[in-house]
A and B are shown apart, each in its own frame.
Chain A
Amino acid sequence: MEHANHTALILVPLMSVVIIMMILMARKKQLFIRRIQGLGAIDEAIGRATEMGRPMLCCIGIGGLDVPTLQALAITSYIIKSSARFNTRAIVPVYDPQTYPIVEEAVREAYVSEGRPEQYLADDVRFLSNRQFAFAAATAGIIYREKVAASFLFGLFAAEALIFAETGQQVGAIQVAGTPSTTQIPFFIAACDYVIIGDEFYAASAYLSREPTLLGSMVGQDIAKGILITVILFGAALATFAPVLGKSFGALFNK
């Protein structure tokens, strides 16, 4: 089993305290957050699908019941709420049977919260397969057959990422993607119209909902990043100047 080393023992609680403090602060005062272009494009993509009268695809990736998938589901929930207002159909393919009931519930709730429960179609939340390429084949098939006008790819992806993105490109869909899988980001950048990178993926629900609690957490993330950058710069300076400054630094670290 993995256990905390000294660095994790200091940094993780420190960053956690910062994030929680900012969440509590955000409930009392308005915080400023920077603009994220990729997330701003979500409404544009929904609008395009509405104008074209074609459905949208919201894929939450091939993760199990974990934090990235829950985050992807939170973004999907926002997309469906927005699309429900314009009566635009959203198809949600599901890879993991564990997440299926949660996705179904979240999609239904999204329609209900917009006062459009009749728009929810059970067939549009589809468990396809929990084999990676069977899922890829089935999702690509949906993109082709339904000629989706917008494709939202948020969540964990592996080699199938490019299959989805290129198929969407072929049918002329506007595509917005975001993934914590760093190896798939270049494929999305090459094939999608808008890509959110790195921690923007985890900031998405805050950015979209403007909920104070989530905004506070987003500001906390930025401060934690600042702490990390300071530690890195300090470490780089020590590593650079240690030979010049002599043994005193070495003695400090050997204690």
Chain B
Amino acid sequence: MRKSLFRASALLTALLIVAALAGCDVPNGNKLTVGVKGDVPNFGLYDEESGNYSGMEIELAELLCRDMGYDGAKLVTVAASDREELLASGAVDIIIATYSVTDERREQVNFTESYYRDMGTVVVERSSLISTMQELRGCTIGFLRDSSMKLSTAEYLAELGVLKDFDPAAFEAGDYRGAVDFVEYDSYEELSDALERGEVDAMAGDRSIVKGFVDEDRIVLPGDFAVQEYAAATSRTSGLFTQLNEAMNARLEDGTIDRLIVKWGN
């Protein structure tokens, strides 16, 4: 009797120890560095007080890294203009930061399949009495610096006939004169303030971002344009690309991406 009791308790203790150990996380494992946005609600947002990131792209980064066999993602905030540089220098392994696919960019980076489709949006103040894109003739539109939205908007306006004789190349080169003025700002906050003060008559940007700046005194102009595809990117020379692309495709197929989009209200 006593012997069996002893054996039983020894077994129990052993089990407990194993369970305890299993619960421990091995710290500082093998992680990939992923560049993300820190100022875009629902995609990549950084909260200084808690030190946490939140957003769809954050979750996606973590998932993809684990799919690729790593222990997770080490997150780094990137600005829109630095993305190519950071990839090229190797400071980050992957970019998942509202990075839209353009042919130009393809020359420098590898894009996976797109995980999100965004569009261009134009927002105006109610008091400006602008209600359609056509009425933007003679107005000033504000954009985020170096975003691809500027060109897309101009093209769309040309389509609508607001801009006559539009030349994209010249436009890109900075050589442009037209019925609409295009102005750039360093951040969306500044752009929003400018719109408020009347410095610009309209603000244009990615719908996913701009919709956060719409209050009851502003309206969104109707019209879909400048569709953008967001995708994850690596440098051209990166060896991770194949794995990353596979992982992304898998997630697209099994519905994870869709779930994430719905979850984050996009």
Do A and B associate with each other?
no
